[in-house]
Amino acid sequence: MSAKKRPSQAAGTDTIDRGNSNAKLEQLETWRADASGEALTSNTGVKVADNQNTLKAGERGPSLLEDFLMREKITHFDHERIPERVVHARGAAAHGYFQVYEPLSELTKADFLNQPQKQTPVFVRFSTVQGPRGSADTVRDVRGFATKFYTDEGNFDLVGNNMPVFFIQDAIKFPDFVHAVKPEPHNEIPTGGSAHDTFWDFVSLQPESAHMVQWAMSDRAIPGAYRAMQGFGVHTFRLINAEGRSVFVKFHWRPLSGVYSMVWDEAQKLAGKDPDFHRRQLWEDIESGDYPEWELGLQVIPEEDEHKYDFDLLDPTKLVPEELVPVRLVGKMVLNRNPDNFFAETEQAAFHIGHVVPGIDFSNDPLLQGRLFSYTDTQLLRLGGPNFNELPINRPLCPFHNSQRDAPHRQTINKGRAAYEPNSIDGGWPKETPEAASGGGFASYPEPMSGVKLRKRADSFADHFSQARLFWNSMQPHEQEHMIAAYSFELGKVQSREIRERELNEVLANIDATLASRVAENLGLPAPTTKSAAPKQSSLQESPALSQANLLSGNIRSRKVAILLAEGASADDISHIIGVLDGEGASVKLIGPTSAAVKTSDGNTLLPDATFDGLPSIALDAVFVPGGAAKALQENGAALHYLLEAYKHLKAIALCGDAGDLAKLLRLDADEGLLTAAKASDLCSKLVKAMAQHRVWAREPKAKAIPA
């Protein structure tokens, strides 16, 4: 049949069909756009004179709604993905509460910051930025840290990151940044990472990103756990008290678990072996009652000090060093309940930087101004219309009434006849609440404004390298080595030599000569010999508060220790270490060669929590081997690999009795984290001390020789 023409197929039809097909292909080709040599235009063909700056009222004034170019660009960007979030798609969340330590009435009239006896419910979502919902938790990326406070005056959303700055200064560049860091459009690669040409092409051409890229190449981009992350509001906000006085403020979250990260090899392995590592850890910690906790910190800057510093408070690529403005800790947040349904809560949660309450207001930060527009616009598509605030996870816990009606997915059944204000039919309700009234309504701070409409970046935004240099100078030697390795790895994935050289010569050379030359050496490129920008010196040369090494908790609460089991293992050693670790707030996992029960030295049996392969060392913080287990373990390749991998990742390892022979077998040198003793009672205090330091950084040069 296939060799013959079908009866309906007349002679010549085949030729005619091919012609129609070719015509259709030619028609399709007219929709393919090659921008080479073409002017940048709007979607209606209007040529764009300035694609770098939002239209503002004065150089440092607020962004103007009439900026049709910015609105068109961001509206299109906000609607590019359905149904998952365009960014921050991969996340996990939990419920909890916030409680202020003492009234802050001198700073703000916000009720939840003035009622120490009150616990304000919160919902917190953590996320990665680049990858889709199916990507891994442990990729190198910025982490979102979004907190919804269900206050008695309405919802307040503090929508930030685990880094205090951002890649761009103006919201009009946000679609460009995200397009650059997302998987490349021709092949949708890579997922969940920035190690590719388009990202480095963008940041090497956009020097304002230099500071944030430093953070992204640091250990901050591979956090050890959600509970080990700082959180930042990023922007400068305002606090307003009952007398109408305003101060500028930066918001901080300080984890009580301390700030710590993974090492790169460990993060990569976890992405394959347990891509849900962070969300699993958050879930399990809450289920076990080991609740993550943070303190809320404020950096308060009086209005009269707005222009005091050698950076602009409205520049989101700059932070306020704590040496200049200390962080005042004002309250504590505890996450103590997991969601009942991931989709209904975590996925449908709609955060918006514009959700504020009386006593909190915005600054003219041009990135913040664009976010005020973008977040609602995004939810309209993602959650199917304007009623997303009626979803249970987004509904305020206080009463809410207005004249908004209908639209898709309406939940509220409104009574009455009047859907407008003012009205007399329904007695005039709901009515405005004057600002001056008790529990008054929201009113924007009456900030004086002047200036002409223009597209221009303020001159005070022009310094792109001094704070990047400050960050580099503030790192410990091992942190600097990690940053050199991160730049080398990422740029090594870039195919374009021109992009690699531009990043070296135009960016890294302006931050630090050693950083630039070391990365150049690793890439096989000549080291930059001159700087492309005149260096501007910061008032500070270093800020110790920026180094994670200075932000450890000093304890081992919530840390997890593997106890390797084998036939004949000392029951006394196991019992003793479990007791000590439990007293320190850490937990243990019994790891066996199989899931079968293991007989210990006292004749009793222990049932492993997992196997060597099922819960690898990368998922835990330290390893303990009881006496009596060495003979069985040294014949088990998986057990030996367990110890080698923990050693390579600089973790504390405690070996009791004959287990010390395993270190000799594996040729592992003793150090402050590789501990041996006759029995557990002689090791416990040393193990706790080593774990409190997070990693044995002095071991790192030696550990690099251990096979992956």
Q: How far apart are CA 472 and CA 518, in angstroms?
A: 14
Nearest by Cα to 267 from 140, 414, 403: 140
In this structure, which amino acid lies at residue 617? S
Catalytic (active site) residue 161: yes
User: Are residues 548 and 259 in contact, defined by beta-carbon separation less than 8 angstroms?
Assistant: yes
Asked if 660 and 676 touch (Cβ cutoff 8 Å), the reply is yes
Of residues 53, 88, 355, 510, which has the active-site annotation?
A: 88
- State whether residue 562 is helix, strand or coil: strand
- Of the candidates 53, 114, 155, 161, the residue annotated as catalytic is 161
Task: Return d(Cα 610, Cα 593) in angstroms, integer.
Answer: 9
* Torsion 451-456-457-462 (CA) sign: negative
Tell me which residue of 621, 555, 566, 567 sits closest to 589, measured CA to CA. 621
Distance CA 177, CA 316 (A): 14
Q: In this structure, what token pair is assigned to residue 172? A: 């009009």
Task: Give CA torsion, residues 11, 13, 16, 21, to 10 deg.
Answer: -150
As beta bridge partners, residue 294 has 255, 333
DSSP 223: B
402 is annotated as an active-site residue:
no
- Alpha helices by DSSP H, listed for 240-358, are 264-273, 277-287
Per the rule left: phi > 0, alpha: psi between -120 and 50, beta: everything else, 517 is: alpha
Q: Are strands 246-255 and 293-302 parallel, antiparallel or unpaired?
A: antiparallel
Give 493-501 contacts, CB < 8 A, sequence gap 24+. Answer: 493/190, 493/195, 493/196, 494/195, 494/196, 494/197, 494/200, 495/197, 496/197, 496/201, 497/525, 499/197, 499/200, 499/201, 499/204, 500/200, 500/525, 501/525
CA distances from 422 to 72, 403, 408, 438, 441 (A): 33, 10, 25, 21, 17
DSSP 41: B
Which active-site residues does the annotation give? Answer: 88, 161
